[in-house]
Chains A and B, each alone.
Chain A
């Protein structure tokens, strides 16, 4: 114990270690595998971002498609969009991850050879796509009906009406909820540890057990999650500003 000062034992509180006894050097220690805890944490951050970003791309693609289908004039397309959304919206994320990882591969044997990283991206992407589908649908429905009719009356086909009239407006309207969803996906990527992805949460649990230093591990991990989600928030704001059209919703 440094300087002979007795360590404080708070009787009613969790232990409070004086700042001076924090051991930040543990990040330079070898993990036993030829890399330091710092290197390991950075690689874990990389896994977190990879899972999140790939899942986000997938979620935006499928979510937009399903959202559009749900506003189409065909009952069949609406039903497909609704089924997809309700299926992935009503099952907890952790359960979905296990379904993709343990249950589906035992039914479809081909999936056994698919890396767990891909399965997690699909699980997280599909889960989030249901939420994005809901937002895209709401965005399109918030537009006045006349817009659709005006597009069709001009001689545009229905896909063209979506492409040139409805979607450019609807997507601008739903940028704020999409931003929240994109930030959520960073945070939700932490469940990937459950199927052996070496991401930040797993690093935090494993490294804190190995070093018995919880604060020193969890504080930087928390900061990295914050930085990641906040960066997405800032990027989305830039996009929102760039796309703003004067005189329209959100524009000046």
Chain B
């Protein structure tokens, strides 16, 4: 008896709490502000210039989304930037601290159990970076070599699966972060660096001598990257998606892509130089929130 009472109380409390947090649009309108989750160093997608300034392709896209939301709600919305990490981004979206997270989050089925995603706005391709004079051009040539990647990324898993599937044995070395992993390649401790294409391109563009490195070989995996929001808030999700679809249609998103990936960007005014991939083009042509697993199937 007691147990069932507690159960009822928990369910009531839970649904009350859910009702309270899932109407993000109302929350934004009432408070006049939105908390935008962003990343401090996710390549050209989202990064900080210091002093609480956040920029990047996804950051600027999110700012456009917020501008559209203010039009829709008929009130001015202030943006509060909240830097997140890969460890805390999902809990912070779930508990209502962050309303919309636009960084470099991969949409996959495991995460879809906890959160919802806007339509995919960037498709990441995992590639191989090598020294230009190494002669390596494909995964097959990595046999017996040392391959660097970054701890805490899905590229480690990709690499592991590839190794098993292709029977190409290589030694994995891990950097604590992307800069460390690139240093492994730079210092000769690794023969290749396997990571998201835009992170490779970004690290190469910022290196002492960008011409010394090349991005080569097949695409090891594709990962749809999208903005993340709370699960079950259809109205908010639709509003965000409509805004993004509008930007795709008007060509605004393509302009933003060109600005952040093909033109010199701060702070060092170097170009990432990564042209729009076919996979990203396809995602824009047919906006969807399919998880990574569905990309692997085809």
Contact = CB atoms under 8 A, between A and B. Distances in A.
Interface residues of A, number: 35
Given A194-B180, A209-B154, A15 B11 contact: no
Contacts of A15: 91, 94-95
B234 interface: no
Contact of B151 (A116, A193, A212): A193
A205 B108 CA distance: 18
A34 interface: yes
A11 B161 contact: no
B67 interface: no
Interface string B107-142: 010110010000000000000000000000000000
Interface string A195-212: 110100010011011111
Contact of A206 (B10, B151, B180): B151
B174 interface: yes
Contacts of B22: 9
Interface in B1-50: 10-11, 13-15, 17-18, 20-22
B242 interface: no
B164 A34 contact: yes
B163 interface: yes
A11 B21 CA distance: 7
Contacts of B189: 112
Interface string A3-18: 0011111111111000
B239 interface: no
A8 B183 contact: no
Interface string A92-134: 0000000000100110000010001000000000000000000
Contacts of B151: 193, 196, 202, 205-206
Nearest to A14: B91
Contacts of A36: none
17 contacts: A7-B14, A8-B10, A8-B13, A9-B21, A11-B20, A11-B21, A11-B96, A12-B95, A102-B187, A112-B189, A194-B176, A206-B152, A206-B156, A208-B87, A210-B156, A212-B110, A212-B114
Interface of B: 10-11, 13-15, 17-18, 20-22, 86-87, 90-91, 94-96, 108, 110-111, 114, 151-154, 156-157, 160-161, 163-164, 172-176, 180, 183-184, 187-189, 230
Interface of A: 5-15, 31-34, 102, 105-106, 112, 116, 193-196, 198, 202, 205-206, 208-214
Given A102-B187, A202-B174, 11 more contacts: A6-B15, A15-B94, A31-B157, A32-B164, A33-B161, A106-B187, A196-B174, A198-B174, A205-B151, A212-B111, A214-B91
